[in-house]
């Protein structure tokens, strides 16, 4: 898929809900793609998150105070439309804050999905850079947690299964209902079905607003 096509897919995904994407994935047999309910937008007004997964993995590794060179190298490889997907075992610490968020945005990164913590939430909110994470914390990663790989398969906490595998190039979508991962090989099929469900829901809402009863709508449109 070329850059223009990827940008168009991302634009279209921003117009559908995670709930419809989840239903489309179910129909294709992908039943465990939802992420844990703890994933939330930071700040709460962050808006929707949509883009192609660029994975970053780290682990608790005590070291001398100073920068994390691997983290910086990983972030420098981000491309426009990517979502940086952070995984690891860093309970209680943040994986990044305001300055790295600014650096990611400068490279065209469309946001971040963090199976861990972030900080500088109010300042990140001023960057128009959506971040979904499991928690926020003032405790930095420096001297505690280091990046050890990028663009490798990672595993994030799931909603209906313990872990959800995220491969580089999968698609990430998050909104008010939560976050979900669409495997790369079905990104376009899921999108077409989610768009169909979206149009169906719009028609139902329109009929309900003009006085059609819920039962009549179900009789007309079937299961939703």
Residue 170: which domain range?
Answer: 3-184
Q: Quick check: is 110 in a domain?
A: yes
pLDDT in tens, 69-80: 888 888 999 999
Q: Quick check: is 126 in a domain?
A: yes
The residues facing 147 across adjacent strands are: 58
pLDDT in tens, 82-116: 999 999 998 899 999 999 999 999 999 999 999 99
Q: What would the two tokens of residue 44 be?
A: 């709460």
Residues with Cβ < 8 Å from 140, sequence gap 6 or more? 93, 94, 97, 119
Q: Quick check: is 93 in a domain?
A: yes
pLDDT for the residue numbered 70:
87
Instruction: List the chain residues with pLDDT less than 70.
Output: 203-204, 207, 212, 217-224
Q: Quick check: is 165 in a domain?
A: yes
- DSSP letter for each residue of 169-180: T-EEEEETTEEE
The answer to whether the annotation marks 99 as part of a ligand binding site is yes
Cβ neighbours, 10 Å, residue 223 = 5
Q: Quick check: is 216 in a domain?
A: no
The answer to whether the annotation marks 11 as part of a ligand binding site is no
Cβ neighbours, 10 Å, residue 152 = 12
Q: Quick check: is 189 in a domain?
A: no
The model's pTM is 0.91
The CATH number assigned to the domain holding 14 equals 3.50.30.40
The answer to whether the annotation marks 97 as part of a ligand binding site is yes
The answer to whether the annotation marks 120 as part of a ligand binding site is yes
The whole-angstrom separation of Cα 210 and Cα 206 is 6
How many domains does the chain fold into?
1
């Amino acid at each position: 898929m070329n850059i223009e096509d990827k940008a168009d897919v991302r634009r279209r995904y921003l117009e559908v809900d995670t709930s419809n994407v989840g239903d489309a994935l179910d129909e294709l047999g992908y039943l465990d793609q939802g992420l844990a309910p703890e994933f939330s937008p930071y700040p709460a007004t962050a808006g929707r998150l949509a883009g192609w997964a660029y994975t970053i993995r780290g682990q608790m590794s005590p070291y001398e105070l100073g920068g994390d060179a691997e983290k910086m190298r990983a972030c420098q490889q981000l491309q426009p439309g990517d979502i940086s997907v952070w995984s690891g075992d860093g309970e209680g610490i943040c994986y990044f804050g305001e300055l790295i968020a600014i650096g990611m945005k400068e490279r065209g990164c469309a946001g971040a999905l963090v199976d861990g913590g972030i900080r500088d939430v109010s300042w990140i909110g001023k960057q128009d850079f959506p971040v979904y994470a499991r928690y926020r914390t003032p405790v930095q990663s420096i001297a505690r947690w280091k990046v050890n790989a990028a663009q490798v398969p990672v595993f994030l906490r799931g909603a209906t299964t313990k872990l959800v595998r995220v491969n580089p190039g999968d698609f990430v979508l998050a909104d008010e209902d939560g976050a979900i991962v669409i495997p790369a090989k079905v990104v376009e099929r899921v999108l077409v079905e989610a768009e169909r469900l979206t149009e169906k829901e719009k028609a139902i809402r329109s009929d309900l607003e003009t006085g059609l009863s819920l039962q009549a709508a179900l009789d007309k449109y079937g299961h939703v």
